[in-house]
């Protein structure tokens, strides 16, 4: 950031007294601007007719990853709960009516300052339609999932966990909670910086 959100003076990075990492500090009014991770909330909307299970995915109409498929998800807003955010994003992106179940996955993505969470959900009807942030909304059987065209690693890992748990239910297992840290891949030793 460049300017103070309190008084619009330029800010500079410095470590405040008693702190241990650089923050954007205003030299005019003294405001310290803390920046913390953002929460991304989404759902895994499922339609299961007599064991013929389908998962609802959205094709993104916006950057990043325009044209790639994702579970409905987006940034949590102030003054809402995680479940409210997951339902709202599913309505906004997929026009889908869902019943939310328990939290299924939590994925840390520290290098982009995000935490992604997905809830299991049941589609209540098939009246879904693409919202303004989606090009297309479509149900996929497990073998139809477009793995090479999934927008984000958090989504592909969540889908993989979900399909593994779903398949294991035949043995009497049930869905369990999954967590994972997605770390930035280390740059190759022989790679040349772009600038
Ligand atoms: Zn200021």
The number of CA neighbours under 13 Å toward the Cβ of 80 is 15
The number of CA neighbours under 13 Å toward the Cβ of 134 is 25
Report the domain count for the chain. Answer: 1
Domain range enclosing 158: 38-183
pLDDT in tens, 171-183: 888 999 999 999 9
Cα(78) to ligand 1 centroid in Å equals 23
In a domain, 99, yes or no: yes
pLDDT in tens, 78-129: 999 999 999 999 999 999 999 999 999 999 999 999 999 999 999 999 999 9
Q: What is the pLDDT of residue 173?
A: 87
At residue 135, does pLDDT exceed 80? yes
In a domain, 191, yes or no: no
8 A C-beta contact, residue 158 and residue 107? yes
Cα(2) to ligand 1 centroid in Å equals 11
Q: What is the pLDDT of residue 195?
A: 46
Cα(25) to ligand 1 centroid in Å equals 8
| Sole residue written with tokens 């990075």 | 13
In a domain, 147, yes or no: yes
Cα(16) to ligand 1 centroid in Å equals 14
pLDDT in tens, 155-167: 999 999 999 999 9
Q: What is the mean pLDDT of the chain?
A: 95
Buried b or exposed e, range 125-149, using 16+ CB within 10 angstroms: eeebebbebbeebbbeeeeebeeee
In a domain, 195, yes or no: no
- Closest Cα to residue 149, out of 46, 58, 56, 47? 58
Cα(75) to ligand 1 centroid in Å equals 27
In a domain, 188, yes or no: no
Determine the Cα–Cα distance for residues 178 and 119; give it in Å rounded to an integer.
11
Consecutive H or E run containing 138 = strand 134-140
In a domain, 179, yes or no: yes
Q: What are phi and psi of 44, to 5 degrees?
A: -115, 90
Determine the Cα–Cα distance for residues 80 and 57; give it in Å rounded to an integer.
24
* CATH code of the domain in which 164 resides: 3.90.79.10
Cα(53) to ligand 1 centroid in Å equals 55
Cα(14) to ligand 1 centroid in Å equals 14
| pTM for the structure as a whole | 0.90
Determine the Cα–Cα distance for residues 79 and 51; give it in Å rounded to an integer.
38
In a domain, 69, yes or no: yes
Q: How confident is the model at residue 22 (pLDDT cuts 50, 70, 90)?
A: very high
In a domain, 83, yes or no: yes
| Sole residue written with tokens 């759902």 | 43
| Sole residue written with tokens 């939310």 | 100
Cα(19) to ligand 1 centroid in Å equals 19
Q: What are phi and psi of 181, to 5 degrees?
A: -110, 120
8 A C-beta contact, residue 151 and residue 65? yes
């Amino acid at each position: 950031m460049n300017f103070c959100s309190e008084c619009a003076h330029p800010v500079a990075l410095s470590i405040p007294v008693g702190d241990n990492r650089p923050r954007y500090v205003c030299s005019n009014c003294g405001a310290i601007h803390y920046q913390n991770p953002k929460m991304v909330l989404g759902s895994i909307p499922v339609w299961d007719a007599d064991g013929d299970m389908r998962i609802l995915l959205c094709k993104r109409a916006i950057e990043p990853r325009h044209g790639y498929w994702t579970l409905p998800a987006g940034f949590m807003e102030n003054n809402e709960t995680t479940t409210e955010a997951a339902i709202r994003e599913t309505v906004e992106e997929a026009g889908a009516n869902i019943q939310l179940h328990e939290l299924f996955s939590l994925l840390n993505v520290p290098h982009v300052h995000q935490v992604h969470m997905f809830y299991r959900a049941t589609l209540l009807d098939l009246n879904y339609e693409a919202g303004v942030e989606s090009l297309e909304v479509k149900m996929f059987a497990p073998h139809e999932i477009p793995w090479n065209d999934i927008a984000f690693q958090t989504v592909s890992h969540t889908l993989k966990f979900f399909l593994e748990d779903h398949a294991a239910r035949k043995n009497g297992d049930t869905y369990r909670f999954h967590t994972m840290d997605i770390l930035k891949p280390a740059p190759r030793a022989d790679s040349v910086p772009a600038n």
